[in-house]
Amino acid sequence: MRFAVMASGRGSNFQALIDARARGELPGAELVQLIVNKRDAQAIGRAEAAGIPWEFIDSDVMARAEFDRRALAVLRDCSTEAVVLAGFMRLLTPEFIAAFRHRILNIHPALLPLFPGAHAHRDALAAGASESGCSAHFVDDGIDTGPVILQQAIPVLPDDTEESLAARILPHEHRLLPEVVRLLAAGRLKVEGTTVWILPEK
């Protein structure tokens, strides 16, 4: 299965996919394209080092619909079959999501449906949560509301800050995201309503 990655910043989850591919942990999954919406995204350097084509589409100078149209054109040109959002800080239009229904993966640094949105760590600490973690999920038309595939919980420590909580969750993101890419590529994910079933290996 041909995967494209969309990123906005440092791209550490993108790097986790590159590293998993190098270790032979993504059989059946090919990383064919990176799209970034920020010129200074560190993900660009990671793509160049791994020999993955990349495209910059400036989200600051165009409407959301125009951005998505251009992104879809890039993805069609490289015959993308599925999309991974790796720190992509921009909402996608319903038209984009419909083009890849149940084939857009995202990793979110909270235990969804708790603490969706861009400030998950801050929100978890403000709510006095005893645990947090990360969720790998399919993307739908809402904000972090799509069907959850895998989650990993960790305790919130009494002295945690946003930064320390983020740092302890990040390694679990780096593990879960390649795993769901592997499962999707293997045809082992079945969506029924808001539930995702992981099918046994054939």
The answer to whether 31 touches 5, Cβ cutoff 8 Å, is yes
C-alpha to C-alpha distance for 18 and 29, rounded to whole angstroms: 11
The kind and range of the H/E element at 35 are: strand 30-36
What's the 3-state SS for 126-184? HCCCCEEEEEEEECCCCCCCCCEEEEEEEECCCCCCHHHHHHHHHHHHHHHHHHHHHHH
The kind and range of the H/E element at 104 are: strand 104-108
Active-site positions read 108
Structure tokens at 23: 């270790």
